[in-house]
Amino acid sequence: MRWLSALIDLCAAFAKEFPAVDLRIDTQVMSAVSARVLAGMATLGVASPRGLAPGLERQSLAPIRMVPVVGPKHPLAAHKGPIPTKRFADAIQLVLSERSDAGVADQAVLSPRTWRVADLPTKHMMLRAGLGWGNLPEHVVRDDLRARRLVAIRPAAWGEDEHTLHLSAIYRNDTTFGTASRWLLEQLQIYCKRDAGVVPRGA
């Protein structure tokens, strides 16, 4: 997956720059990212505004365009042009959902029928398997769209840029950054923009 590739590239660069410094990488979704940073269990987090808790500072990283997609054999894949909302009545929508009921409410839900998943890689693979339709970040599905492993669709109810998320690095306002943390924050911007297509690879 492209986002994992960016993470591995960033970690490899960190290991080269700071060979004596240890890293802990933790993958969470939505409000769980803010919760770990607020609790002091992580120095830096990466989150969208939907998962941002009060009391945290943030630094913009990159805009992430969400693309509604289906597998090539899914019935919605054959529809040309905008798809009326009524066509989604019996179509299962795969939704990235909080692990706890106390978190952020499900976002961008259009279908009455939903399957909820707790992480992006699972959602990605389920969409490729034709088990439903749903939104994924454009940089995650770019290769799948080119290879026709996934097909982009156009719900008539949604505007072209309705679901663009703006990723931010988040941290507590009492955080004192050391050299390694400052470097990591700067590089996060570069790697996120690179894989989101904001700047070319290698820039």
99-124 pLDDT tens trace: 655 555 566 788 999 999 988 889 99
pLDDT value at residue 19: 94
Report which residue type is found at 64.
Answer: I
CATH code that applies to domain 2-63+165-196:
3.40.190.10
Task: Give the DSSP per-residue string, 16-32.
Answer: HH-TT---------THH
Of the candidates 28, 188, 175, 88, the one whose C-alpha atom is nearest the C-alpha of residue 196 is 188
pTM for the whole structure: 0.75
In this predicted structure, what is the pLDDT of residue 64?
Answer: 84
Please give the pLDDT value at position 30. Answer: 67
Intervals of the chain under pLDDT 50: 198-203
pLDDT at position 151 is: 96
Class of CATH domain 64-155 = alpha beta
Supply 185's token pair: 């924050």
Asked whether this chain's domains 2-63+165-196 and 64-155 adopt the same fold, the reply is yes
Distance of CA 124 to the CA centre of its chain: 11
Buried b (16+ CB within 10 A) or exposed e, 114-140: beebeebeebbebbbeebbbbbbbbbb
Q: What is the pLDDT of residue 201?
A: 36
Measured CA to CA, the distance from residue 42 to residue 96 in angstroms comes to 22
Predicted pLDDT of residue 197: 58
- The answer for residues whose C-beta is within 8 angstroms of residue 27's C-beta and 6 or more apart is 119
Instruction: Report d(CA 94, CA 126) in Å as an integer.
Output: 8
| CA dist 73 → 63, 157, 161 (Å) | 30, 23, 26
Domain extent listing, the chain: 2-63+165-196, 64-155
Q: Rounded distance, CA 97 to CA 8, Å?
A: 25
129 token code pair: 């398997």
**Share of residues in the chain with pLDDT > 90 (%):** 39
Q: What is the pLDDT of residue 8?
A: 85
